[in-house]
């Protein structure tokens, strides 16, 4: 089945929202893939970082908001550091998560109750705080 | 004498007429003092438009012409020629810019734009009323050229200028001409042996009766102006009497000390007294004092002097300054590669098996450090899998250089193919973002690589390279399949960006040649004047102007040569007469003009005790005019009186 | 000399060994780390979305507290360093966020009650955020450091692990080259270690993802540890409690998965510094380490 591209799809308001929230210009990405090449957690992602941006460029916001990818990102900033066009994919991930969490589009990826006792008693609290802020909102 | 100025207001289609009420402008100016004729027309620069001017000059006995139109940079010359054709002095034809400085910037307010146009033209009418008839200043032309840079562009330019009948001084900073092209093994898309096609030109230029070849030399100073440059060239001390030397090579053979070979890009060593490569032109050695035992250890060694059969070694030799007079200068200083150390993510400069494209080129070369075999620098083994990376430093506005270096896609394709021809069982991978093959035969060359030599092109930019267990680990991606890629390669070749040759930056500053923010020499117009600089008498060719391949460099070199030949076609050079002049009656002899002139065009006559302007040199910058305390210095056709009247007209006071 | 010090919540709890060794070393070098009289958690992560003032407040407030007692603040934890430095930058350049943040600060009456001479002065980025190692390099000086070393850690092969938050984003952190950094290597050389350069020193350990998906963190940490192991490291040093946790805790699993895997102890760089400065055993508290460093230190005759 052909993907029917229309002006409304590629200029979807949600894309403006993603750009404003992330502070990134989606069309600046020229799809070199370096972000995907250097991402330490890409093996766990269902859509690789460069493809996430490509899907957004093509107006396919829904597919991206439903992905596992945006919850897998560890915010290590390697993608942002190496991008030749200065596009910070890590920030786009944060923005996409923010859209899901703020609009309660789906349940938060990490439930506060689910943080295992081992984690709470054993892990450094910075990890717990960081995880809850990123994945629970 | 009665002033009879003709005013011609151009519509320029709708460019001017769309905003300015040109008819009204022409009508209002008809009654202005000094105006004998005022009209408007759609396209003044057209033949009918120019004819309007010519006819009006004759019919109305005009003493001056104002063409109110676009910027003078476009058509001032056109209308001056028209005026001349009708018998008017060209310096009494003026342009009033009512387009770039009026209609184009005030498109929102037609009323204001029209008023402004009228005032703008009045300003020029006031100037024209007091304009004098002037004659261009003729200066003799020295029909000799200086070419800076002995790479393929410099060699071609020198040959073409010499073949057009003019003498050329060709200056090259290294011991031999040839530049980077001499380092290449084979060239795309023909896979011609680089040295084989280049050495005939190198020999031809060295033997040409009209070419004075100065290698191991640099330009120290340039003064003067187009047609009349005085150049000081520093012949660097080579410590060898290169006039007597026959190039027997005994000194190099016996030299006990070694230094990293620049020609072999650090992959091998060379003796301290050396010729850079076997086919060097001239094939005479130079002694590298920075690594020489004799110089570093107070006279210890001296082997070369002992073995030289003709006594050519002279440890006392000094730099020599040679002065040349030339009429034109062609700058063809070429390129360098972006430093590999800047690619930290690829371990550039850290891992021996991650090499630059020029290093790989030297490996492929039969006369290179590995005898034409591709070998790993770490253990000299033949690599089984080699990864080639495009865009190392190019197309990266965030961390490196924003521009595309144009040639890397092609030369890495060539490298991949030559590697396969060399190591038949090997595999070449090329990581790319876009394969750019714009030249003639280039796309077909790329097809050959993929289809005949099984080169695998992977679309994705490599993120990291590191060394593990003796392998070069490459972390990339294939965006076409969406897979993260890892290759445990034996070697990685980085397609580094091309940057202008480092030495050229200082030269450009000295010559006051404009460079863009990356140091490439600026052409006079990006589309229509690619081989000239805006500075008269300076021409540019080759990679110094921007990344380009050999055919383009040669084409630009020939283009620059033809510009030089045009310049030399006249025996005299004509300079604009809109320069400074000094009223000797009022000159107080204070010499302030002499001290402020940046061109040394003002001189003081001790006998008459007045300052005079050297017309051949004055650029009309106005510094002396502003500085003169007695008001004796003025500018032809831009006197204080004219300026006063022009400003008054502008302010309507 | 005194310098304001922000430990961060983890250093007071799970990483007391880091806090303790850091303070002891500073003291031995003539620097008194003056802990801020009042401080809170920095928030652990810096928001990557542009519209949030609330999310930077924790960092800004701590900087504001620091500004009461000095013009610098030293921190150790990589996460805190990143949050404080980036929050500081935002206060310096984003006038809109600065104005809104200061509105919140002015309402912070509780702080005023707790700290004497707490004046109501806006925070505009006047404090300089320093990492402890920048303090060692720039305030103490590596040469003075080398002179103060009483026990050179000869023969100990140390792999410095930088992780992410110290180095990125490059322009804002301005800490060191994000691809080939050298600040820790120079420090280790100053205290006499054999430095082990390893390619994964700037790759992520998994960070906070360990809370959500432990396997992810195991995989990331394994990548780092194996890389150091392949280069023959005796010890890995770090400056982040979360990195230490990830690299250290998951080695049991790594040992199960990789044949021939040898465990590599992971310690804080201040603990090695303490050893080199000849501080007593009480400052070498490795109870929190899963992989005990003592055997390798004993083997090299360093304790």
Task: Judge if pTM exceeds 0.95.
Answer: no
Residue B426 and residue B454: Cα distance in Å, rounded?
A: 10
What is the distance between the terminal CA atoms of chain C, rounded to a whole angstrom? 30
Give how far B480 is from chain A: nearest CA, Å: 10
Cβ of A31 and B479 within 8 Å?
A: yes
Q: Residues C15, C266: contact at Cβ < 8 Å? A: no
CATH, residue B340:
3.50.50.60
Selecting from A32, A38, A43 the residue whose C-beta is nearest the C-beta of B464 gives A38
B344 in contact with chain A, both atoms CB, cutoff 8 A: no
Q: Does position B192 have pLDDT exceeding 90, yes or no?
A: yes
CA-based nearest residue in chain A for residue C51: A21
B438 in contact with chain C, both atoms CB, cutoff 8 A: no
CA-based nearest residue in chain A for residue C246: A123
Q: How confident is the model at residue C111 (pLDDT cuts 50, 70, 90)?
A: low
CATH fold for domain C149-299: Rossmann fold (3.40.50)
Q: How confident is the model at residue C221 (pLDDT cuts 50, 70, 90)?
A: very high
- Can you read off the two tokens belonging to residue B459? 């679309």
- Please indicate, yes or no, if residue B648 is contained in any of the structural domains: no
- Please tell me whether residue B212 adopts helix, strand or coil conformation: strand
- Please indicate, yes or no, if residue B67 is contained in any of the structural domains: yes
Cβ of B461 and A42 within 8 Å?
A: no
What's the confidence (pLDDT) of residue C105? Answer: 87
pLDDT tens column, B326-345: 999 999 999 999 999 999 99
Contacts of C180 in chain B (CB under 8 A): 344, 347, 350
Q: Does position C1 have pLDDT exceeding 70, yes or no?
A: yes
Distances (CA, A) of C211 to A135, C163, C215: 10, 18, 10
What's the confidence (pLDDT) of residue B1? Answer: 66
Selecting from A50, A78, A83 the residue whose C-beta is nearest the C-beta of B477 gives A50
| Residue corresponding to tokens 């050893």 | C275
Q: How confident is the model at residue B348 (pLDDT cuts 50, 70, 90)?
A: very high
What's the confidence (pLDDT) of residue C114? Answer: 67
Q: How many CB atoms lie within 10 A of CB B248?
A: 15
What's the confidence (pLDDT) of residue A118? Answer: 67
How high does pLDDT run on average in chain B?
Answer: 95
Give C194's strand partners.
C157
Task: List the one residue out of B342, B467, B352 whose CA is nearest residue C197.
Answer: B467
Q: Does position C298 have pLDDT exceeding 70, yes or no?
A: yes
What's the confidence (pLDDT) of residue B515? Answer: 93
| Residue corresponding to tokens 């009654």 | B31
Selecting from C9, C49, C213 the residue whose C-beta is nearest the C-beta of A95 gives C49
Residue B156 and residue B201: Cα distance in Å, rounded?
A: 8
**Domain range annotation of chain C:** 2-129, 149-299
Query: Of B642 and A115, which is predicted with more confidence?
Result: B642
Give helix B110-130 / helix B22-30 axis angle, nearest 10°: 40
Cα three-residue angle C82-C85-C86, rounded to 5 degrees: 80
pLDDT tens column, A90-129: 999 999 999 999 998 888 888 878 777 767 778 899 999 9
Q: How confident is the model at residue C112 (pLDDT cuts 50, 70, 90)?
A: low
What's the confidence (pLDDT) of residue B218? Answer: 96
Q: Does position B6 have pLDDT exceeding 80, yes or no?
A: yes
Cβ of A37 and B485 within 8 Å?
A: yes
- Please indicate, yes or no, if residue B158 is contained in any of the structural domains: no
Q: Does position C116 have pLDDT exceeding 80, yes or no?
A: no
Q: Which domain holds residue B583?
A: 579-635
B374 in contact with chain A, both atoms CB, cutoff 8 A: no
pLDDT tens column, B254-270: 999 999 999 999 999 99
Contacts of C199 in chain B (CB under 8 A): 347, 464, 466-468, 473
B478 in contact with chain A, both atoms CB, cutoff 8 A: yes
Distance from chain centroid for Cα A63: 12
Which whole number is the average pLDDT over B192-202?
Answer: 96
Cβ of A128 and C212 within 8 Å?
A: no
When the candidates are 3.40.50.1220, 1.20.1050.140, 3.10.50.40, 3.40.718.10, the CATH number that belongs to C2-129 is 1.20.1050.140
DSSP code string of C248-278:
HHTHHHHHHHSTT-----EEEHHHHHHHHTT
Task: List the one residue out of C116, C119, C90 whose CA is nearest residue C105.
Answer: C119
Q: Is B444 exposed, middle or buried (0-12, 13-18, 19+ CB in 10 A)?
A: exposed
Selecting from C51, C178, C209 the residue whose C-beta is nearest the C-beta of A81 gives C178
Contacts of B473 in chain C (CB under 8 A): 199
- Please tell me whether residue C131 adopts helix, strand or coil conformation: strand
Q: Which of C10, C14, C17, C44 to mutate to test the interface with A (most CBs of A within 10 A)?
A: C44
> Are B370 and B476 found together in one domain?
yes
**C88 CB contacts (<8 Å, ≥6 apart)?**
C59, C63, C125, C127, C129
Q: Residues B393, B496: contact at Cβ < 8 Å? A: yes
Cβ of C207 and A133 within 8 Å?
A: no
Cβ of C177 and B344 within 8 Å?
A: yes
Considering only the C-alpha atoms of chain A, give the largest distance between any 2 of them, rounded to a whole number of Å.
Answer: 52
A80 in contact with chain B, both atoms CB, cutoff 8 A: no
Residue B492 and residue B345: Cα distance in Å, rounded?
A: 13
Contacts of A128 in chain C (CB under 8 A): 208, 211
SS3 letters across B533-583: CCCCCEEECHHHCCCCCHHHHHHHHHHHHHHHHHHHHCCEEEECCCCEEEC
Contacts of A72 in chain C (CB under 8 A): 209, 213, 216
Contacts of A132 in chain C (CB under 8 A): 211
Residue B30 and residue B35: Cα distance in Å, rounded?
A: 6
Give how far C301 is from chain B: nearest CA, Å: 30
B471 in contact with chain A, both atoms CB, cutoff 8 A: no
Contacts of C242 in chain A (CB under 8 A): 123-124, 126-127, 130
Q: Which of B343, B477, B478 to mutate to test the interface with A (most CBs of A within 10 A)?
A: B477
What's the half-sphere exposure (Cβ side, CA atoms, 13 Å) at B525? 5
Contacts of A76 in chain B (CB under 8 A): none
Cβ of C230 and B469 within 8 Å?
A: yes
Residue C178 and residue A80: Cα distance in Å, rounded?
A: 12
- Can you read off the two tokens belonging to residue B127? 């100037």
- Please indicate, yes or no, if residue B606 is contained in any of the structural domains: yes
Q: Residues B175, B214: contact at Cβ < 8 Å? A: no
Contacts of A57 in chain B (CB under 8 A): none
What is the distance between the terminal CA atoms of chain A, rounded to a whole angstrom? 37
H or E element at residue A123: none
- Can you read off the two tokens belonging to residue B559? 């283009």
What's the half-sphere exposure (Cβ side, CA atoms, 13 Å) at B50? 15
Give all strands of the β-sheet with C266-268 in edge-to-edge order. Answer: C194-195, C157-160, C235-238, C266-268
What's the confidence (pLDDT) of residue C110? Answer: 67
- B508 — alpha (psi -120 to 50), left (phi > 0) or beta? alpha
Residue B392 and residue B456: Cα distance in Å, rounded?
A: 19
Selecting from B345, B391, B433 the residue whose C-beta is nearest the C-beta of A82 gives B345
DSSP code string of B140-179:
E---EEEEE--SHHHHHHHHHHHHTT-EEEEE-SSSSS-T
Neighbours of chain B (3+ CB pairs under 8 A): A, C
- Please indicate, yes or no, if residue B236 is contained in any of the structural domains: no
Q: Residues B93, B67: contact at Cβ < 8 Å? A: yes
pLDDT tens column, B523-549: 999 999 999 998 889 999 999 999 999
Helices (H), B365-482: 408-422, 442-452
Domains of chain A plus CATH, in order, are: 7-106 (1.10.1060.10), 110-137 (no CATH)
> Are B599 and B494 found together in one domain?
no
Cβ of B479 and A50 within 8 Å?
A: yes
Task: List the one residue out of C199, A81, C201, A53 whose CA is nearest residue B486.
Answer: C199
DSSP C169: S
> Are B474 and B611 found together in one domain?
no
pLDDT tens column, B33-90: 999 999 999 999 999 999 999 999 999 999 999 999 999 999 999 999 999 999 999 9
Q: Does position B351 have pLDDT exceeding 70, yes or no?
A: yes
Cβ of A88 and C79 within 8 Å?
A: no
Which segments within B289-395 are labelled E, that is strand? 320-326, 328-331, 335-337, 354-356, 385-392
Q: How confident is the model at residue C285 (pLDDT cuts 50, 70, 90)?
A: confident
Selecting from B347, B350, B468 the residue whose C-beta is nearest the C-beta of C230 gives B468
- Please indicate, yes or no, if residue B380 is contained in any of the structural domains: yes
- Please indicate, yes or no, if residue B112 is contained in any of the structural domains: yes
Q: Residues B494, B345: contact at Cβ < 8 Å? A: no
Q: In the listed set B450, B481, B499, which residue is the last one of a domain according to the structure? A: B499
C181 in contact with chain A, both atoms CB, cutoff 8 A: no
* Structural domains counted in chain B: 3
B425 in contact with chain C, both atoms CB, cutoff 8 A: no
Q: Does position C280 have pLDDT exceeding 90, yes or no?
A: no
Selecting from C179, C200, C227 the residue whose C-beta is nearest the C-beta of B344 gives C179
Cβ of A91 and C14 within 8 Å?
A: no
A 103-132 → C contacts, CB under 8 A: 109-110, 115, 119, 122-132
Contacts of B400 in chain A (CB under 8 A): 84
pLDDT tens column, A32-68: 999 999 999 999 999 999 999 999 999 999 999 999 9
Neighbours of chain C (3+ CB pairs under 8 A): A, B
Q: What share of chain A is helix, strand, coil (3-state, %, to 5)?
A: 60, 0, 40
Helix (DSSP H) and strand (DSSP E) numbers for chain C? 16, 8
Neighbours of chain A (3+ CB pairs under 8 A): B, C
Look at chain A and count its residues: 137
> Are B494 and B583 found together in one domain?
no
- Can you read off the two tokens belonging to residue C71? 């013009």
Selecting from A21, A72, A126 the residue whose C-beta is nearest the C-beta of C216 gives A72
A17 in contact with chain B, both atoms CB, cutoff 8 A: no
Give how far C19 is from chain B: nearest CA, Å: 33
B342 in contact with chain A, both atoms CB, cutoff 8 A: no
What's the confidence (pLDDT) of residue B608? Answer: 92
Peptide bond into C90 cis (omega under 30): no
Distances (CA, A) of B423 to B368, B414, B416, B426, B427: 16, 14, 10, 5, 9
- Can you read off the two tokens belonging to residue C267? 């310690």
Residue B613 and residue B620: Cα distance in Å, rounded?
A: 10
Q: How many CB atoms lie within 10 A of CB B256?
A: 10
- Can you read off the two tokens belonging to residue C266? 């992971």
CA-based nearest residue in chain C for residue A75: C207
- Can you read off the two tokens belonging to residue B594? 């002499």
- Can you read off the two tokens belonging to residue B149? 């840079």
- A66 — alpha (psi -120 to 50), left (phi > 0) or beta? alpha
B214 in contact with chain C, both atoms CB, cutoff 8 A: no
- Can you read off the two tokens belonging to residue C44? 């652990």
**B302 CB contacts (<8 Å, ≥6 apart)?**
B294, B315
Beta strands B93-97 and B64-69: pairing type? parallel
Task: List the one residue out of B58, B59, B99 whose CA is nearest residue B75.
Answer: B99
Distances (CA, A) of A40 to A34, A48, C220: 12, 11, 7
Give helix A13-22 / helix A89-102 axis angle, nearest 10°: 120
- Please indicate, yes or no, if residue B288 is contained in any of the structural domains: no
Q: Does position B4 have pLDDT exceeding 90, yes or no?
A: yes
A 30-69 → B contacts, CB under 8 A: 30-39, 42-43, 48, 50-51
CA-based nearest residue in chain A for residue C200: A40
Which whole number is the average pLDDT over B408-413?
Answer: 97
């Amino acid at each position: 089945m052909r993907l029917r591209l229309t002006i409304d799809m590629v200029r979807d308001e949600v894309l403006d929202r993603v750009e404003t929230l992330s502070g990134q210009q989606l069309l600046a990405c020229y799809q070199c893939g370096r972000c995907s090449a250097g991402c330490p957690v890409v093996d766990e992602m269902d859509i690789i970082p460069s493809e996430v941006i490509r899907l957004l460029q093509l107006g396919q916001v829904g597919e991206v908001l439903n992905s596992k990818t945006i919850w897998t990102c560890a915010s290590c900033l390697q993608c942002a550091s190496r991008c030749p066009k200065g596009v910070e994919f890590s920030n786009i991930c944060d923005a996409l998560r923010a859209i899901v969490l703020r609009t309660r589009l789906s349940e938060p990826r990490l439930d506060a109750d689910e943080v295992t006792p081992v984690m709470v008693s054993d892990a450094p609290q910075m990890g717990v705080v960081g995880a809850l802020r990123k994945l629970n909102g | 004498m009665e002033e009879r100025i003709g005013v011609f207001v151009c519509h320029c289609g709708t460019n001017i007429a769309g905003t300015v009420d040109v008819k009204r402008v022409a009508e209002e100016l008809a009654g202005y003092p000094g105006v004998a004729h005022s009209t408007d027309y759609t396209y003044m620069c057209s033949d009918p438009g120019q004819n309007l001017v010519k006819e009006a000059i004759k019919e109305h006995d005009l003493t001056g012409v104002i063409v109110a139109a676009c910027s003078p940079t476009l058509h001032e010359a056109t209308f001056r020629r028209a005026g001349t054709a009708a018998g008017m002095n060209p310096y009494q034809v003026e342009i009033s810019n009512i387009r770039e400085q009026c209609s184009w910037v005030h498109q929102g307010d037609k009323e204001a734009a029209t008023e402004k146009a009228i005032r703008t033209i009045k300003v020029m009418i006031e100037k024209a009323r007091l304009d004098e008839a002037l004659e261009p200043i003729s200066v003799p032309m020295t029909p000799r050229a200086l070419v800076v840079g002995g790479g393929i562009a410099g060699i071609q330019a020198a040959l073409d200028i010499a073949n057009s009948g003019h003498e050329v001084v060709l200056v090259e900073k290294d011991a031999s001409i040839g530049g980077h092209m001499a380092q290449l093994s084979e060239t795309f898309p023909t896979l011609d042996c680089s040295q084989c096609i280049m050495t005939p030109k190198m020999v031809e230029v060295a033997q040409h009766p009209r070419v004075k070849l100065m290698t191991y030399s640099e330009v120290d100073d340039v003064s003067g102006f187009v047609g009349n440059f005085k150049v000081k060239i520093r012949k660097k001390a080579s410590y060898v009497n290169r006039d007597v030397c026959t190039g027997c090579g005994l000194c190099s053979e016996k030299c006990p000390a070694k230094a990293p070979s620049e020609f072999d890009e650090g992959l091998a060593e060379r003796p301290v007294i050396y010729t850079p490569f076997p086919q060097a032109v001239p094939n005479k050695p130079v002694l590298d004092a920075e690594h020489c035992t004799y110089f570093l250890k107070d006279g210890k060694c001296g082997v070369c002097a002992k073995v030289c059969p003709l006594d050519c070694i002279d440890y006392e030799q000094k730099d020599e300054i040679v002065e040349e007079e030339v009429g034109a200068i062609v700058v063809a200083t070429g390129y360098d590669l972006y430093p590999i150390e800047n690619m930290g993510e690829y371990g550039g400069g850290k891992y021996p098996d991650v090499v630059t494209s020029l290093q790989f080129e030297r490996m492929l070369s039969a006369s290179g450090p590995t005898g034409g075999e591709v070998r790993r620098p770490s253990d000299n083994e033949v690599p089984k899998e080699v990864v080639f990376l495009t865009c190392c430093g190019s197309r990266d506005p965030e961390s490196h250089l924003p521009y595309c270096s144009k040639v890397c896609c092609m030369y890495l394709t060539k490298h991949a193919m030559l590697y396969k021809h060399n190591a038949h069982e090997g595999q070449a991978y090329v990581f790319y973002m876009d394969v750019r093959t714009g030249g003639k035969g280039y796309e077909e060359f790329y097809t050959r690589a993929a289809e005949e030599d099984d080169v695998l092109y992977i679309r994705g930019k490599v993120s990291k390279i590191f060394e593990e267990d003796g392998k070069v680990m490459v972390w990339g991606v294939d965006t076409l399949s969406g897979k993260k890629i890892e290759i445990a390669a034996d070697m990685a070749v980085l397609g580094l960006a091309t940057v202008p040759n480092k030495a050229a930056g200082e030269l450009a500053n000295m010559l006051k040649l404009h460079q863009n923010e990356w140091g490439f020499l600026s052409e006079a117009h990006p589309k229509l004047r690619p081989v000239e600089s805006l500075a008269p008498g300076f021409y540019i060719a080759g990679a110094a102007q921007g990344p380009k391949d050999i055919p383009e460099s040669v084409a630009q070199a020939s283009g620059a040569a033809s510009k030089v030949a045009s310049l030399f076609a006249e025996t005299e050079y004509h300079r604009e007469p809109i320069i400074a002049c000094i009223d000797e009656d009022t000159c107080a002899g204070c010499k302030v003009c002499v001290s402020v002139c940046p061109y040394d065009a003002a001189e003081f006559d001790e006998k008459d005790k007045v300052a005079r302007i050297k017309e051949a040199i004055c650029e009309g910058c106005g510094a002396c005019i502003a500085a003169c305390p007695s008001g004796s210095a003025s500018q032809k056709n831009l006197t204080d009186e004219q300026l006063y009247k022009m400003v008054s007209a502008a302010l309507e006071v | 000399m005194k310098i304001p010090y922000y430990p961060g919540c983890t250093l007071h709890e799970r990483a007391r060994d880091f806090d303790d060794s850091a303070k002891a070393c500073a003291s031995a070098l003539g620097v008194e780390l003056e802990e801020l009289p009042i401080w809170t958690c920095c928030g652990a992560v810096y928001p990557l979305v542009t519209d949030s003032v609330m999310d930077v407040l924790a960092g800004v407030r701590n900087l504001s507290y620091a500004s009461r007692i000095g013009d610098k603040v030293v921190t150790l934890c990589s996460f805190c360093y990143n949050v404080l430095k980036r929050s500081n930058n935002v206060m310096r350049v984003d006038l809109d966020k600065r104005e809104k943040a200061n509105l919140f600060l002015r309402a912070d009456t509780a702080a005023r009650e707790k700290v004497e001479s707490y004046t109501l002065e806006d925070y505009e980025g006047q404090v300089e955020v320093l990492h402890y190692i920048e303090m060692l390099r720039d305030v103490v000086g590596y040469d003075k450091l080398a002179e103060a070393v009483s026990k050179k850690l000869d023969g100990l092969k140390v792999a410095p692990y930088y992780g992410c938050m110290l180095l990125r984003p490059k322009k804002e952190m301005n800490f060191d080259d994000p691809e080939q950094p050298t600040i820790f290597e120079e420090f280790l050389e100053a205290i006499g270690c054999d430095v082990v350069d390893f390619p994964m020193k700037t790759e992520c350990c998994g960070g906070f993802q360990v809370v959500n998906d432990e396997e992810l963190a195991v995989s990331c940490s394994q990548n780092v540890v194996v890389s150091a192991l392949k280069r023959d490291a005796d010890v890995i040093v770090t400056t982040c409690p979360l990195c230490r946790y990830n690299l250290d805790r998951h080695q049991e699993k790594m040992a199960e998965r990789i044949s021939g895997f040898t465990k590599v102890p992971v310690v804080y760089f201040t603990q090695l510094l303490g050893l080199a400065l000849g501080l007593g055993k009480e400052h070498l508290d490795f109870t929190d380490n899963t992989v005990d460093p003592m055997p390798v230190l004993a083997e090299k005759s360093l304790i």
